[in-house]
Chain A
């Protein structure tokens, strides 16, 4: 009863971490490349403002860490470190082609629990530095989380109901005939929005917004900043992997091996999220709260109703 995926031994954990890191580097490189291309005028690159991943990493590693007065350093560090750890914990139950690190019977609930742990992480990263801008960023994240989390939960429920299992491998296998994105598009879109939410990304990046001097990033410098930024990209990558597994059929596809299809699909979602970041405006958390509860919650509930009726009738 492994649902078509074989569990790997724990010795493979570093490999899974490296795969996740590779995805994050690709996303960061793409974002850096897009930065030098102004939106709408693709022909005219911004001179002298090319940003490379290695350059940014080297700069942050050399930079000295600043710690504001009376900062709660312990909570701050816990919050910062929890972001990449959360991404790794998500990746642990993600089937990469025919292999998965842990083929857990409650994989989807686990994913959900870890993305809720990001609430604590971002709030602590905002609280820790004892800085007004960072604190506002932390509160913005929680306000936003209250709006995206419930729709995200219902969006996660839809594939689980359709597959009749909470095992991620089982959900992948249930899509042999038809990808879930085809008959649950609303859940897919809301799921991707949720991924942007817990990665503090694109339209939901107000907690790290420029209007509050970088919010939760305002005081993070040096290696702390590097870990937070890397954590965001890692979460984005893990979330894209889950989007591929839950809605795009995981490793299913012709000719190519399973792991390659999985990588292609996850990268496609990841690149779409990175590109859309520069195409969509940042939503105001207070506005998004109402939209989340009045539009997204009913929409995902209707989607869930459709899925449930189909499952019962089938």
Chain B
């Protein structure tokens, strides 16, 4: 890495940590959410420094989207709606501190102790493809099985949680027309 990218790396790493810490310092749900988003975006830019352009941009995309939705749920579900008032994001201070310190030590020890391989020759042109190959290449069958199972789990959980399933709307024999739906949809079902 050149000097410029080394500086950029450390600035971004510091920004990611600082925004992550700010999540627990600010007193508003919206600020906490978007501090977390900023932290993730800093990590995404670090990925760009690794020439993982696709992964970096997709990380930023997914994380901003996720945080935008998370802000909605945070404001919706936080009890007695403190989300709309100043509140602390810290709960169970001692346990949380112990857990995060422990996790930090384990992860750092892992980074320092793992015998990382050194580069053998010049990096390939398409590093994203190469990374995908090396992570998933020989486990493709597992990956192909896991993703439909995960997807089916999400759909099943949604179906179970849905307050207006088809039996609620169309009656026990599915014959009620028009359906009893408190919220009419847009395609006239």
Contacts and interface: CB of A to CB of B under 8 A. Distances in A.
Contact of A112 (B34, B61, B183): B61
B72 A290 contact: no
Contact of A291 (B53, B54, B187): B187
B64 interface: yes
A74 to B, nearest CB: 8
A113 interface: yes
Given A72-B31, A287-B185, A109 B68 contact: no
B183 A116 contact: no
A72 B28 contact: yes
Interface residues of B, number: 24
B186 A124 contact: no
- For the residues of A in contact with B, the DSSP-based class is helix
Contacts of A291: 185-187
Contacts of A142: 68-69, 72
Contacts of B60: 113, 117
Interface string B167-189: 00000000000000001111101
Interface in A76-115: 78, 104-106, 109-110, 112-113
Interface in A282-314: 283-284, 286-291, 294-295
Q: Counting chain A CB atoms within 10 Å of each CB, which of B37, B53, B183, B186 scores highest?
A: B186
A123 B70 CA distance: 12
B65 A116 contact: yes
A105 B53 contact: yes
B68 A120 contact: yes
A286 B71 CA distance: 19
Given A119-B68, A142-B68, A287-B184, A124 B61 contact: no
A75 interface: yes
Contacts of B53: 104-106
Nearest to B56: A106
B57 A109 contact: yes
B43 interface: no
Interface in B28-68: 28, 30-31, 34, 37, 53-54, 57-58, 60-61, 64-65, 67-68
Contacts of B61: 109, 112-113, 116
A294 B187 CA distance: 8
A191 interface: no
A253 B154 CA distance: 48
A75 B35 CA distance: 11
A196 interface: no
Given A109-B57, A109-B58, A116-B64, A127 B30 contact: yes
A113 B58 contact: yes
B162 to A, nearest CB: 13
B142 to A, nearest CB: 25
A94 B67 CA distance: 27
Given A124-B34, A290-B186, A291-B186, A117 B72 contact: no
B185 A290 contact: yes
A113 B68 contact: no
A78 B64 CA distance: 14
Q: Counting chain B CB atoms within 10 Å of each CB, which of A74, A78, A109, A294 scores highest?
A: A109
A166 interface: yes
9 contacts: A72-B28, A75-B30, A105-B53, A116-B64, A120-B64, A120-B68, A142-B72, A284-B186, A290-B185
Given A149-B65, A289-B185, 16 more contacts: A72-B30, A75-B30, A75-B31, A104-B53, A105-B53, A106-B57, A110-B57, A113-B58, A116-B65, A119-B65, A120-B67, A123-B71, A124-B30, A290-B185, A294-B187, A295-B187
Closest 4 CB pairs of A and B: A287-B186, A290-B185, A113-B61, A291-B186
